[in-house]
Amino acid sequence: AQSVTQLDSHVSVSEGTPVLLRCNYSSSYSPSLFWYVQHPNKGLQLLLKYTSAATLVKGINGFEAEFKKSETSFHLTKPSAHMSDAAEYFCVVIPSGSARQLTFGSGTQLTVLP
Amino acid sequence: DAGITQSPRYKITETGRQVTLMCHQTWSHSYMFWYRQDLGHGLRLIYYSAAADITDKGEVPDGYVVSRSKTENFPLTLESATRSQTSVYFCASSHQGSEDTQYFGPGTRLTVL
């Protein structure tokens, strides 16, 4: 069985400071891992994905995430927050070749303060 | 060039009524997905489809029915709506499967009274 835990339901940062959104997972099989972002009243958009290639993954809008198998983590970071980054972020795990076991984390709401 | 659309965007219905939520994509993606989003649960997979006439259950399929007679359409039917099915429903599609990038529709907010 697999699961995803987003360790913070809310994160607040000041504009221009670093962002860290934490995600831990458990999976019986080599997983694919994703981060999606959801702006208010919108659908979800892919930020980045890890599919067993490079462990440091770069995504859109300056975000990146590092897959650490030993820590079963896939934390999302950005060096400098922008007001437009305010949104909800979801970590997703998919065991290899198993669409029906796709699992979303419960989400982290990011607030960016001026 | 609409991409992926959902209709209606908002729906209010009563307990026991049948409701169908529509999803249409213009990319000819093989895979399509239905999720529900509830506070504190993130998104949960209801059903998915790997191709026309091929569907499979996700995490929370009870009370829902899907069909996929054409590649571009993936309707979700609540045969007898219940209050617990009040939620926001998202449809998504991907070219090669769940491990490929999924593209989400704007969502349908359903209220069951």
pLDDT at A66 over 90: yes
Which tens digit of pLDDT belongs to each residue from B46-88?
999 999 999 999 989 999 999 999 999 999 999 999 999 999 9
- For B32, the closest chain A residue by CA position comes to A99
Which tens digit of pLDDT belongs to each residue from B93-110?
998 877 788 899 999 999
Backbone angles phi, psi at B7, to 5 degrees: -145, 145
H helix count then E strand count, chain B = 0, 11
Cα of first residue to Cα of last residue in chain B, in angstroms, is 35
- For A100, the closest chain B residue by CA position comes to B58
Q: Note which residues in 17-36 of chain A have CB less than 8 A from chain B.
A: 32, 36
* pLDDT number for residue A35: 96
The beta-carbon neighbor of B45 closest among A90, A102, A105 is A102
Out of A25-29, A46-50, A67-71, least confident range: A25-29
- Taking an 8 Å cut-off on Cβ atoms, the answer to whether B99 and A94 are in contact is yes
- Taking an 8 Å cut-off on Cβ atoms, the answer to whether B104 and A96 are in contact is no
The one-letter code for the residue type at A74 is F
- Taking an 8 Å cut-off on Cβ atoms, the answer to whether A103 and B40 are in contact is no
Q: What is the full DSSP assignment across A56-85? A: EEE-GGG-EEEEETTTTEEEEEESS--GGG
Interchain CB contact of A108 with B (< 8 Å): no
Q: Which residues fall within 8 angstroms of residue A54, CB to CB, at 6 or more apart? A: none
Q: What is the SS3 string spanning B73-93?
A: ECCEEECCCCHHHCEEEEEEE
As a whole number, mean pLDDT of residues A35-62 equals 89
CB B19 within 8 A of CB B78: yes
